[in-house]
Amino acid sequence: MKQTVLVTGANGFVGRALCVDLVRRGYTVRAAVRERSCAIGLPGELVQIADTGADADWSSAIAGIDAVVHLAARVHVMRDNVLQPLAAFRAVNVVPTERLARAAAAQGVKRFVYVSSIKVNGEGTPPGRPYTPDDVPAPVDSYGISKHEAEQALRQLAREAGLEVVIIRPVLVYGPGVKANFLSMMRWLHRGIPLPLGAINNQRSLVALDNLVDLIVTCLHHPKALNQTFLVSDGEDLSTTALLRRTAAALGRPARLIPVPALVLRTTARLLGKADFAQRLCGSLQVDISKTRELLGWVPPVSVDEALKQTARHFLANL
């Protein structure tokens, strides 16, 4: 018999895809959202949680639930205008996560899958030295720190209450409907805008939406996922230049890339106060998913090129 799964953040980029996939596989889904108006088209039973803060009451949402996938979070933003960003992230990402997990444990929920972030590991890696799940956490920004603190609270609860906790740290997620920088990149490529990114020799891990969703579902039931931490990617790392070229091919457009040396880009960006942006374009961030593969027998079901084609089709259909 399939489980009944509560999905928080069900109306988000990953949450929607996960709910659809779970229903397709025969799971019963309870989708937790803050506003019903944002849940149009979501499958499963909708549960409105008006307050997801420290005082949130999750009792009705988790009644009769077998497992929880916790996606709801205050996400990383490029320009945070909050005066105390760490306090703001903790108020959404740490305290409510622990409260939800304690409520789940009290009602006999078996497994709690927490989607964290690779930012718990850090902000970048030397080429050829990927992050592993066993690395000492080294979060840099408020978002990464809050995700790490939430992980610590869940591990403590697993020891105290016996709740089966599984932690997944994704890298950058892309797929149909992706927003932010990935969407901007596709717009630039589609318009044929020349980009000074033709000589970037970094290596970055990405994860297609379908691959992340598949791993989340695997972690809901796999016995060896119990109290483990997993990194997830497509299993093929790309330079920024290669990503642009392959995305352009998926869009049916030529990639107009000018081979400007990375050092010149970094120096210019630093002078303009955009050093962080240059790091994302020119720096490396790789993850080692061998533990995920070996312990769970998991293989990313979608290749990079197929995922880029799916992403491009959605983008072109919604111009």
Pick from 184, 234, 206, 38: which is nearest to 118 by CA?
Answer: 206
Angle between helices 180-191 and 304-317 (to 10 degrees): 70
**Distances in Å between the alpha carbon of 314 and those of 178, 186, 267, 319?**
9, 11, 36, 9
Q: Write out the catalytic residue numbers.
A: 143
- Distance, CA of 192 to CA of 244 (rounded, Å): 12
Reported in sequence order, the residue ranges of 146-210 that DSSP labels E, i.e. its strands, are: 164-170, 172-174, 206-208
List of residues 6+ apart from 156 with CB closer than 8 A: none
Output DSSP code: residue 285. Answer: B
The single residue listed with the structure tokens 């995922």 is 307
**Distances in Å between the alpha carbon of 236 and those of 14, 54, 107, 215?**
21, 39, 41, 16
Is the separation of the CB atoms in 13 and 177 below 8 Å?
Answer: yes
Is the separation of the CB atoms in 117 and 143 below 8 Å?
Answer: yes
Is the separation of the CB atoms in 11 and 40 below 8 Å?
Answer: no
